[in-house]
């Protein structure tokens, strides 16, 4: 396929502009996506009390939970409560609820002794939410739009490279001019990561646009205002309302046994207790079932112990299956740890691909930087470097903030947002964009590389100890590798030579075909 | 389609492509289930499947329009039709 010169130019401009405009969010979302792939495995790292093995079986854990519920129901128990059952990465029970002011509370419960400890950090889950921009107002919609832009960038990139795909896949010339080197790296990373980027862009767009805007409107347009029918289609029908008649807590052991009988072979991981303390209380038992692209199950058990609803993996209808498949595909849940590691590598490649795309743009215009190019250079430096710093900063905050600090979890979130915003602001004010990016990347890399030693010192353990918790060992390894990658990036950015703006005032032309 | 020379897109044309077209496509996707025959689930499915290609293709269609006025007219007509369907669904 040979493109006309005008068409090629238009596609190139669309590819470059769309990529440049969304670059900061894309880099941040790719890096956060890498971290959120391992959010469960990160739990022992962020919450040191989960590192020691617990000698308690499920029966004991459920008895402890029952005692905890019985002591509170009818007194100060909230009406809705979520309980995460013990898992290999988190051997304690985790109980979460919202208080009357709507603030989220969470405590850990030792499954054998019933010892209760406040949640110290929600680092992994927070990074997962920020990956979808969920905590920001209108964030899901913004994430959906960014995903559509990524789809456009991937599509235009594929069309302008289609004839040279095989050649670009392996061509890298590090000794050539910087523009060539960045261009080669961008094309190699783009070609290698193309299927991954297309899949994550499409699935993210469906997940975010559906959650942010489609679902609320579909109730009216597809279900003629019948919210109940809409929820049933997705496999999550609304439960009954509280009657006002007091009753004791549901028997959790019976509930779990019923769920297991209804859906054998499923890993039931969470109890969502609703209308607690009321005669109309019920429990939704959430589960994971490995069934290709369909994963999530629910068994609803009444307070009396009767199964009232079963949602098989994928849900009852085509739309539920599509949406669930999109989520499972996006999260790499359809296979094991090997796939998630591949996703992580491709996520880092994709972030690098976006950054190198911006560098190609800037190198092309280096001889005649317009105001928009200077702004792009500064925002790229502050925003992309800031994403790296924000991730490093929240991990560092997890280590250094005192455990007894009130609202400690929110402090971690604040440090994440603050460091990213400060980095962008610094990028706009610092004299040289290149220097700012280098500082941010070097600082982020330094922090991440030092974190395993800091954690080992704080918790009196050996660093990179394969005999200790495997989750901590691999978290240490992952942080150190990410840190080294950031340090290497800082070194590579340092290789960009400053240019003499008087050399020429003519920007490099976009060739009709890059057939070198 | 005529093959005469096309003008280079200006700022308002780009605004039409970047803001107007995706918004119009989103409105169409939201209104579509009201017009498609079939069960509620099928209508929801149609919206879920259509929304992403529509939002990605709409800016391209706007950039390919013969003139800026035609691009805005297309966005206006499409959005008005979708809003009418949505207004009827919500009232």
pLDDT of A385 > 70? The answer is: yes
pLDDT of residue A6: 76
Whether residue A392 sits in one domain with residue A485: yes
Mean pLDDT check: name the lowest of A25-34, A76-85, A366-375, A426-435. A366-375
By the 8 A CB rule, do A394 and A383 touch?
Answer: no
By the 8 A CB rule, do A223 and A229 touch?
Answer: yes
How far B87 CA lies from chain A's nearest CA (Å)? 10
Residue A104 lies in a domain: yes
pLDDT of residue A66: 97
Model pLDDT for residues A208-255, shown as the tens digit of each residue: 999 999 999 999 899 989 999 999 999 999 999 999 999 999 999 999
Q: Which of B34, B40, B47 sits opposite A233 (nearest CB)?
A: B40
pLDDT band at A49 (very low <50, low <70, confident <90, very high): very high
Residue A142 with chain B: CB contacts under 8 Å: none
Give me the residue label for tokens 């994440």: A416
Give dist(CA B48, CA B52) in Å, integer.
8
Domain count of the fold of chain A = 2
pLDDT of residue B4: 54
Strands A104-109 vs A81-84: parallel, antiparallel or unpaired: unpaired
Query: Do B63 and A14 count as a contact with CB atoms less than 8 A apart?
Result: yes
Domain count of the fold of chain B = 1
Residue B32 lies in a domain: yes
pLDDT band at B8 (very low <50, low <70, confident <90, very high): low
Residue B51 with chain A: CB contacts under 8 Å: 205-206, 209-210, 214
Query: Alpha helix (H) ranges present in A292-407?
Result: 318-331, 337-364, 371-379, 385-400
Burial of A494 (0-12, 13-18, 19+ CB in 10 A): middle
pLDDT of residue B7: 60
| Mean pLDDT within A444-458 | 97
| Mean pLDDT within A435-464 | 95
Residue A214 with chain B: CB contacts under 8 Å: 29-30, 47-48, 51
pLDDT of residue A505: 44
Pick among B41, B50, B64 to test the A interface (most A CBs inside 10 A)? B41
Range of the domain at A64: 48-119+236-314
How far A233 CA lies from chain B's nearest CA (Å)? 7
Q: Decide which of A366 and A196 is more confident.
A: A196
Mean pLDDT check: name the lowest of A6-15, A276-285, A412-421. A6-15
DSSP A441-499: HHHHHHHHHHHHHHHHHHTT--TT-TTS-HHHHHHHHHHHHHHHHHHHHHHHHHTSPP-
State residue A239 phi and psi, 5-degree precision: -85, 170
pLDDT band at A349 (very low <50, low <70, confident <90, very high): very high
Give dist(CA A196, CA A34) in Å, integer.
13
Residue A362 to residues A303, A383, A496, Cα–Cα distance (Å):
63, 15, 11
State how far Cα A495 lies from the chain centre: 31
- A 403-422 residues with CB < 8 A to B: none
DSSP A118-171: E----HHHHHHHHHTTTTSTTHHHHHHHHHHHHHHHHHHHHHHHGGGHHHHTT-
Q: Decide which of A37 and A505 is more confident.
A: A37
How far A194 CA lies from chain B's nearest CA (Å)? 17
The helix/strand/coil state of A205 is helix
Chain A residue with minimum CA distance to B35: A221
pLDDT of residue B9: 65
pTM of the predicted model as reported, rounded to 2 decimal places? 0.91
Pick among A221, A234, A322, A372 to test the B interface (most B CBs inside 10 A)? A221
Q: Which of A10, A151, A218 sits opposite B52 (nearest CB)?
A: A151
Whether residue A142 sits in one domain with residue A101: no
pLDDT of A506 > 90? The answer is: no
Model pLDDT for residues B63-89, shown as the tens digit of each residue: 888 888 999 999 999 999 999 999 999
Whether residue A467 sits in one domain with residue A407: yes
Give dist(CA A268, CA A255) in Å, integer.
11
Whether residue A398 sits in one domain with residue A256: no
Query: Do B47 and A322 count as a contact with CB atoms less than 8 A apart?
Result: no
Model pLDDT for residues A483-497, shown as the tens digit of each residue: 999 999 999 887 765
Chain B residue with minimum CA distance to A9: B8
State how far Cα A501 lies from the chain centre: 41
Paired with A273 in beta bridges are A81, A283
Whether residue A52 sits in one domain with residue A41: no
Average pLDDT, chain A: 90
Whether residue A411 sits in one domain with residue A276: no
Measured between CB atoms, does A467 come within 8 Å of chain B? no
Sheet holding A116-118, edge to edge: A116-118, A104-109, A93-98, A81-84, A267-274, A282-291, A294-302, A307-311
Residue B3 lies in a domain: no
Give dist(CA A380, CA A359) in Å, integer.
9
Percentage of residues in chain A having pLDDT higher than 70: 96
Residue B6 lies in a domain: no
pLDDT of residue A492: 84
| Mean pLDDT within A385-413 | 96
Residue A47 DSSP code = S
3-state secondary structure A499-512: CCCCCCCCCCCCCC
Give dist(CA B40, CA B89) in Å, integer.
14
CB atoms within 10 A of CB A121: 24
Give dist(CA A347, CA A319) in Å, integer.
28
Percentage of residues in chain A having pLDDT higher than 90: 72
The kind and range of the H/E element at B35 are helix B21-35
Q: Identify the domain boundary among A314, A345, A363.
A: A314
| Mean pLDDT within A278-294 | 94
Whether residue A462 sits in one domain with residue A376: yes
Whether residue A484 sits in one domain with residue A384: yes
Whether residue A170 sits in one domain with residue A26: yes
pLDDT of A121 > 80? The answer is: yes
Residue B5 lies in a domain: no
pLDDT of residue A27: 95
Reported for B39-45, long-range contacts at CB under 8 A and 24+ positions apart, including other chains, are: B40/A222, B40/A223, B40/A224, B40/A226, B40/A229, B40/A230, B40/A233, B41/A222, B41/A233, B41/A317, B41/A318, B41/A319, B42/A318, B43/A221, B43/A222, B44/A218, B44/A222, B44/A223, B44/A230, B44/A233, B44/A319, B45/A318, B45/A319, B45/A322
pLDDT of A502 > 70? The answer is: no
Give dist(CA A147, CA A212) in Å, integer.
13
Residue B42 lies in a domain: yes
Query: Do B30 and A230 count as a contact with CB atoms less than 8 A apart?
Result: no
Whether residue A84 sits in one domain with residue A168: no
Whether residue A161 sits in one domain with residue A190: yes
Residue B63 lies in a domain: yes
The kind and range of the H/E element at A94 are strand A93-98
Whether residue A249 sits in one domain with residue A154: no
Query: Do A151 and B56 count as a contact with CB atoms less than 8 A apart?
Result: yes
| Mean pLDDT within A289-302 | 94
Range of the domain at B74: 11-90
Residue A344 lies in a domain: yes
| Mean pLDDT within A49-77 | 92
How many degrees, rounded to 5, is the angle at CA A479 between CA A391 and CA A465?
A: 145
**Nearest one of A17, A1, A372 to B63, comparing CA atoms:** A17
Q: Identify the domain boundary among A259, A279, A314.
A: A314
Q: Identify the domain boundary among A267, A283, A314.
A: A314
Q: Which of B26, B42, B43 sits opposite A213 (nearest CB)?
A: B26
Residue A413 lies in a domain: yes
Model pLDDT for residues A146-181, shown as the tens digit of each residue: 999 999 899 888 888 877 777 777 788 877 777 788
Residue A5 to residues A26, A152, A312, A512, B9, Cα–Cα distance (Å):
29, 20, 53, 5, 17
């Amino acid at each position: 396929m040979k493109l006309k010169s005008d068409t090629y130019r238009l596609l190139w401009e669309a590819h470059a502009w769309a990529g440049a405009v969304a670059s900061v969010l894309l880099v941040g979302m790719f890096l956060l996506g890498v971290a959120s792939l391992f959010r469960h495995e990160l739990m022992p790292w962020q919450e040191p009390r989960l590192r020691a093995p617990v000698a308690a079986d499920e029966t004991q854990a459920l008895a402890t939970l029952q005692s905890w519920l019985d002591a509170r129901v009818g007194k100060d128990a909230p009406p809705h409560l979520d309980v995460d059952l013990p898992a290999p990465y988190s051997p304690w029970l985790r109980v979460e609820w919202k208080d009357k002011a709507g603030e989220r509370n969470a405590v850990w419960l030792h499954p054998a002794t019933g010892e209760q400890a406040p949640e110290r950090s929600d680092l992994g889950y927070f990074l997962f939410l920020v990956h979808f921009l969920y905590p920001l107002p209108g964030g899901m919609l913004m994430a959906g739009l960014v995903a559509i832009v990524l789809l456009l960038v991937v599509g235009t990139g594929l069309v302008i490279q289609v004839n040279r795909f095989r050649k670009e896949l392996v061509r890298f010339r590090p000794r050539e001019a910087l523009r060539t080197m960045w261009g080669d790296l961008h094309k190699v990373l783009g070609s290698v990561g193309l299927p991954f980027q297309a899949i994550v862009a499409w699935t993210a767009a469906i997940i975010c646009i559906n959650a942010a805007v489609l679902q609320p409107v579909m109730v009216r347009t597809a279900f003629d205002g019948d919210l109940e029918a809409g929820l049933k289609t997705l496999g999550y029908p609304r439960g009954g309302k509280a009657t006002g008649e007091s009753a004791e807590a549901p028997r959790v052991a019976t509930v779990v046994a019923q769920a297991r009988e209804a859906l054998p072979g499923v890993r039931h991981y969470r109890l969502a207790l609703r209308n607690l303390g009321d005669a109309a209380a019920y429990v939704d038992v959430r589960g994971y079932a490995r069934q290709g692209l369909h994963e999530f199950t629910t068994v609803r058990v009444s307070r009396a112990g009767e199964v009232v609803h079963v949602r098989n993996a994928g849900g009852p209808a085509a739309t539920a299956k599509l949406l669930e498949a999109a989520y499972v595909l996006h999260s790499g849940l359809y296979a094991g740890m090997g796939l998630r590691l591949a996703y992580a590598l491709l996520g880092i490649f994709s972030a690098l691909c976006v950054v190198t795309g911006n560098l190609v743009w800037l190198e092309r215009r280096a001889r005649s930087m317009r105001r928009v190019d200077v702004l792009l250079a500064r925002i790229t430096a502050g925003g992309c470097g800031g994403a790296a710093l924000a991730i490093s900063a929240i991990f560092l905050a997890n280590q250094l903030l005192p455990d007894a600090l009130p609202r400690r979890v929110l402090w971690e979130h604040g440090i994440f947002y603050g460091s990213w915003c400060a980095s962008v602001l610094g990028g706009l004010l610092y004299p040289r964009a290149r220097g700012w990016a280098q500082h941010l990347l070097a600082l982020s890399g330094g922090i991440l590389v030092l974190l395993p030693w800091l954690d080992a010192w704080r918790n009196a353990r050996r660093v990179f100890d394969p005999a200790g918790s495997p989750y901590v060992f691999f978290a240490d390894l992952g942080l150190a590798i990410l840190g080294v990658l950031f340090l290497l990036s800082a070194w590579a950015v340092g290789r960009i030579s400053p240019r003499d703006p008087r050399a020429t005032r003519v920007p490099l032309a976009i060739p009709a075909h890059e057939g070198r | 389609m005529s093959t005469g020379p096309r003008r280079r897109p200006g700022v308002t044309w780009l605004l039409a492509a970047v803001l107007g077209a995706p918004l119009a496509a989103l409105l169409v996707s939201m209104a579509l289930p009201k017009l498609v025959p079939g069960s509620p689930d099928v209508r929801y499915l149609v919206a879920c499947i259509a929304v992403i290609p529509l939002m990605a293709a709409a800016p391209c269609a706007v950039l390919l329009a013969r003139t800026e006025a035609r691009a805005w007219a297309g966005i206006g007509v499409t959005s008005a039709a979708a809003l009418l369907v949505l207004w009827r669904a919500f009232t």
